[in-house]
Amino acid sequence: MRNFRIAPSLLSADFACLGQEVRDVIAAGADIIHFDVMDNHYVPNLTVGPLVCEAIRPHTQAPIDVHLMVKPVDSLAPMFAKAGADIITFHPEASEHIDRTLGLIKESGCKAGLVFNPATSLSYLDHVMDKIDMVLIMSVNPGFGGQSFIPHALEKVRAARQRIDEYTAKHGGEIWLEVDGGIKVDNIAAVAAAGADTFVAGSAIYGQPDYQAVIAAMRAELAK
């Protein structure tokens, strides 16, 4: 069975006590912290920058997965690496030079990945698979938490799984396949069946009082 990882998105956490929210969700059984960065330019919303990443860093040893919804990407990505990020992903449309941006992230010591909006082609992966540690499929249009899962994202997840398996069978290594947007207890099994191994969930986890109960219910679905 695939190794499944649950990545709560801080976007739906209480921003007045983020350190505690990070500790609580990891204590409740989450594996990764998903950190959404929005610039009110690439996406119509504004969140947090490297200072906040640095501030939460001492609160957990779990990987911090920084999802950059910003344009341009190159100046900010290394700042997040310095601020303690472990994984940095960006949207290929937001970078003028995708290969260079991936290289910058890798040189800064982080894992790197590309993010695919619902209407973005996976062909951006064609010539850069050797620099990719994670593929992130958006199952909503980026910008806001609490949106509904777009069902045709499952087809994209299946196609990404096939690309990853073909590449790693030939070249070795490990590439994670993450899905972000509208993931809940009642659809996580379908997302896993399509080939995902890493599941972002914001409102489904932080919108409930008992984080442990939600994460346990998600893991029970994944074990079915």
Q: Which residues in this chain contact ligand DX5 in the complex, by CB under 6 A?
A: 9, 11-12, 34, 36, 67, 140, 142-143, 145-147, 180-183, 200-204
Active-site pick, 36, 39, 133, 197: 36
Which of Zn ion, ligand DX5, none is residue 151 near (CB under 5 to 8 Å by kind)? none
Residues 55-74 binding Zn ion (CB under 5 A) are 67
- Closest contact distance (angstroms) between CB of 188 and ligand DX5 is 11
CA–CA separation, 156 vs 143, rounded Å?
20
CB of 93 or CB of 166, closer to Zn ion: 93
- Look up 86 and say whether it is catalytic: no
The kind and range of the H/E element at 157 are helix 153-171
Candidates 180, 188, 206, 211; binder of Zn ion (CB under 5 A) is: 180
186 catalytic per annotation = no
Tell me whether residue 108 or residue 147 sits nearer to ligand DX5 (CB atom). Answer: 147
7 binds, among ligand DX5, Zn ion, none (CB under 5 to 8 A by kind): none
Q: Point out the annotated binding site for substrate.
A: 9, 67, 143-146, 180-182, 202-203
Q: Which of 60, 62, 61, 80 is nearest to 70 (CA)?
A: 80
Least Å from the CB of residue 140 to ligand DX5: 6
Q: CA 52, CA 135: separation in Å to the nearest integer?
A: 24
Residue nearer to Zn ion on the CB measure, 14 or 165: 14
Q: Which residues are annotated as a binding site for a divalent metal cation?
A: 34, 36, 67, 180
d(CA 79, CA 86): 12
Q: How far apart are CA 8 and CA 201, in angstroms?
A: 5
87, containing H or E segment: strand 87-90
Considering the complex, state which of residue 180 and residue 221 has its C-beta at the smaller distance from Zn ion.
Answer: 180
| CA 97 and chain centroid, separation | 21
* Residue 130 Ramachandran class (φ > 0 left, ψ -120 to 50 alpha, else beta): alpha
Name the minimum Å distance from CB 148 to Zn ion: 15
211-223 vs 18-27: helix crossing angle, rounded to 10:
40
Structure tokens given for 115: 């993010």
Catalytic residue among 31, 39, 180, 197: 180
How many Cβ atoms from other residues are within 10 Å of residue 106's Cβ? 16
Tokens 């610039």 locate to 39
- In the list ligand DX5, Zn ion, none, the entry touching 202 (Cβ below 5 to 8 angstroms by class) is ligand DX5
Structure tokens at 188: 């996580």
Nearer to ligand DX5, 24 or 180 (CB): 180
Residues that bind Zn ion (CB under 5 A): 36, 67, 180
Known catalytic residues are 36, 180
